[in-house]
Amino acid sequence: VLPAIRYLDFAVRWFGRVRYDLATSGLTPISAGELGRAVPDDPEARERFIAAVAERYGVSEAEVVPTLGTSGALFVAYATVLERNGAVLVEEPGYEPLIRVAEGLGARVDRFQRERGDLEPARVLRALEADTRLVAITNPHNPTAILLEDAQIRELSEVLETRGVALLVDEAYLESVAPRRSARRLGPNVMSCSSATKSWGVPWARAGWLLMPKETAALAIRAERHAVGNAPPSSFAWGELALKEAERLLERASLIQLGKRELVERFAAAHAERLRFSPPPPGSLFGWLEDVRGRRLTPLIERGIEASGVIVSPGEFFGAPSGCRISWTTDSPALERGLELLPEALEL
Ligand SMILES: Cc1ncc(COP(=O)(O)O)c(C=O)c1O
């Protein structure tokens, strides 16, 4: 039986359904009509999507595996690289599917700490076991939004390469923050994945990709065959359009987001004695708050949902119960009202 993914169960239940939504981490979706026109049943859309991804991220087409969302890419990456009874080493705090999908495939999951988003290669090395096949991280980090520099990822990939271990970098939020360079090119053992979902506001297309060495990319098709058979060409037709329109979508994002982060920063400054805010890189759609007193915030957040219609994302689902992820993707009036209601909900 596959393990439950509690974070996604919670997100499906509440995100977008609570009045003051400071939890949804993706940009306000664009409508299909506003994005443009795509021919959804064109069987060649897949090839054109591959070419567009390769061009944007400076990799060869043979390294691109089209997937259904970043979620699909995580599954394909794990199913291709992990062996039953092998092990994967996952960051903590971390995005829960990175753990559960590996468990579902019969792998063991070990963890290493990223305190406030920092990543120390020495710490990763210490946590490696003889059967570790893969280290999995997110960049920008979900939940803290901290962005690693290329040099840091390169250093990590080099030390892992000497141990024969691969590095998977989930870049679901990469396009929100400069310089928007995928980690795939930073080492021969690096895989990366992302989608049009979060930063471009095209969640409904489920257009995702996995970038990996071409030898493993050739094997990855098997995972698609197992999971979905033949993925819908419509996803890749819309995905190709999103890639072609990427700069316009990013401009749309900066207009939609204008002034919102400042509201959250003002809130964080006003409550700095109770909540520690980790400033995210410019363009981020979310940030991380940590309760200074170390209280477990989940029950307070759950009560706030019911009592005042405000929601943030409980850190507990990421393995950090005294923190919460706060997003600024809702409209400004709702964000402002949500920020007014939050202190009482969290009993600050
Ligand atoms: C780190 C991370 N990876 C992957 C996903 C899923 O992305 P997609 O909607 O493209 O499947 C999310 C969504 O919350 C995420 O936060």
**What separation in Å is there between the alpha carbon of 71 and the centre of ligand 1?**
6
Q: In whole angstroms, give the CA distance from residue 63 to residue 211.
A: 5
- Quote the CA–CA distance of 28 and 170 in Å, as a whole number: 21
Q: For residue 11, what pLDDT is reported?
A: 97
pLDDT of residue 296: 98
**Mutation probe of ligand 1 site: the residue of 142, 144, 236 with most atoms within 8 A of C-beta:** 142
Nearest-atom index, ligand 1, CA of 95: 1
Nearest to 237 by CA among 75, 32, 28: 32
**Of 98, 95, 113, whose CA–CA distance to 325 is shortest?**
95
Q: What share of the chain is helix, strand, coil (3-state, %, to 5)?
A: 45, 20, 35
- 128 Cα–ligand 1 center, Å: 25
Q: What is the per-residue pLDDT for 116?
A: 86
Residue 348 CA to ligand 1 centre (angstroms): 30
Question: Residue 203 CA: which ligand 1 atom is closest?
Answer: 9
Find the residues whose C-beta lies inside 6 A of ligand 1: 25, 69-71, 95, 138, 142, 170, 172, 195, 197, 203, 208
SS3 at position 13: helix
- Averaged pLDDT, groups of 10, the chain, 348 residues long: 97 96 98 96 96 98 98 98 92 98 97 94 96 98 97 98 97 98 98 98 98 96 95 97 98 98 98 96 98 98 97 98 98 98 98
Model-level pTM?
A: 0.98
- Cα 243 to ligand 1 centroid, rounded to whole Å: 17
Write down the pLDDT at residue 84: 86
> Cα-Cα-Cα-Cα dihedral of 21, 23, 25, 29, to 10°?
-20
CA of 141 to the centre of ligand 1 (A): 11
- 76 alpha carbon to ligand 1 midpoint, in Å? 14
Q: What is the pLDDT of residue 85?
A: 83
Pocket probe for ligand 1: among 25, 92, 95, the residue whose CB has the most ligand atoms within 8 Å is 95
Nearest ligand 1 atom to the CA of 208 is 10
In angstroms, rounded to a whole number, what is the distance separating the alpha carbons of residues 117 and 128?
19
